[in-house]
Amino acid sequence: MGWWDCPVCGNRLHVKLSENELAVRCVRCRASAVSESIIGVLVEQLPALDRYAALELSSRGVLAGWLRNRVASLQLSEWMPDHPLGAIIDGVRNEDVQRLTFANASFDLVTSTEVFEHVADDARGFSEVHRVLRPGGAFVFTVPLMDRPDTHERARLHEGRIEHVDTPEYHDDSFAGTDRVLCFRNYGLDIVDRLCAAGFERVRIVTPSISMLGHARRVLVARKTECMRDG
């Protein structure tokens, strides 16, 4: 058990069901340490959130629900490979982050949690997020992040087929239900360089102010702005 203010609902009591960021939860709203980490950072870093047009790269979960009441407009999306890109399926827009169907400069904020480790061509995905952001916009997201300099590639797409370069690692996916999704890589701190290579000019790795029983997730905050880099 642990006690801190949940940034989603204000409740203090949290439980740890296992040694995993997604298993540290607020007992009232069920937010995980990952959701609480990104929401806490959004509140701290983006004081003008209520004026933002936002894109969240999922359709369910605590972050999507929280954003709905906090931003000026919110677009939710999922990748549904059996449907045309840009189509609205049950109220959710079908988007592949490697080929977004939105016009340039459509959003002030793009968010995601635990998505990019599953994107085959993450460089293209980062470039697409940069493209749909307005100047001054922010890309705020989480991935599992190792404390080592280099990203470890586990798999890649080659001529349309997945090639494993290390033991396949699969993660649960809340949208796909019982399906499990391949983890293409374990990110290292060079994710900052990857974001800069995609055009982001100011990239920071933000550590949440609460430790969350040792399972706070560091949050990437990448800005589309004048040429400057820190973090």
Q: Applying CB under 5 A, does 216 fall inside the site for Zn ion? A: no
Q: Applying CB under 5 A, does 45 fall inside the site for Zn ion? A: no
Nearer to Zn ion, 26 or 212 (CB): 26
Report residue 32 as tokens: 């995980």
Q: Which stretch binds Zn ion (CB under 5 A): 2-10, 149-157, 162-170, 177-185?
A: 2-10
Q: Which stretch binds Zn ion (CB under 5 A): 20-28, 38-46, 109-117, 147-155?
A: 20-28
Could you tell me the smallest distance in angstroms from the CB atom of residue 212 to Zn ion? 12
Other beta carbons less than 10 A from residue 180's beta carbon: 13
Q: Which stretch binds Zn ion (CB under 5 A): 31-39, 64-72, 83-91, 116-124?
A: 31-39
What do you get for the CA distance between the two ends of the chain, in Å? 32
Which of 29, 146, 181, 206 lies at the binding interface for Zn ion (CB under 5 A)?
A: 29
Q: What amino acid is encoded at 228 in this protein?
A: M
Type and span of the H or E element at 65: helix 62-68
Nearer to Zn ion, 68 or 180 (CB): 68
Which of 4, 21, 24, 26 lies at the binding interface for Zn ion (CB under 5 A)?
A: 26
State how far the alpha carbon of 57 is from the alpha carbons of 64, 79, 94, 158, 175, in Å.
9, 8, 10, 25, 11
Q: Is 23:38 a contact under the CB 8 Å cutoff?
A: no
Q: Which stretch binds Zn ion (CB under 5 A): 3-11, 74-82, 93-101, 188-196?
A: 3-11
Q: Applying CB under 5 A, does 33 fall inside the site for Zn ion? A: no
Contacts of 30 (CB under 8 A, 6+ apart): 62
Nearer to Zn ion, 8 or 220 (CB): 8
Q: Is 116:143 a contact under the CB 8 Å cutoff?
A: yes
Q: Applying CB under 5 A, does 38 fall inside the site for Zn ion? A: no
Nearer to Zn ion, 36 or 95 (CB): 36
Which of 4, 8, 202, 218 lies at the binding interface for Zn ion (CB under 5 A)?
A: 8
DSSP letter at 145 equals: B
Q: Is 120:181 a contact under the CB 8 Å cutoff?
A: no
Report residue 5 as tokens: 């203010």
Q: Applying CB under 5 A, does 210 fall inside the site for Zn ion? A: no
Reference 43, options 109, 136, 97; nearest CA is 109
DSSP letter at 61 equals: S
Cα 34 from Cα 47, distance rounded (Å): 20
Q: Applying CB under 5 A, does 85 fall inside the site for Zn ion? A: no
Which of 11, 98, 101, 106 lies at the binding interface for Zn ion (CB under 5 A)?
A: 11
What is the binding site for Zn ion (CB under 5 A)?
6, 8-9, 11, 26, 28-29, 31
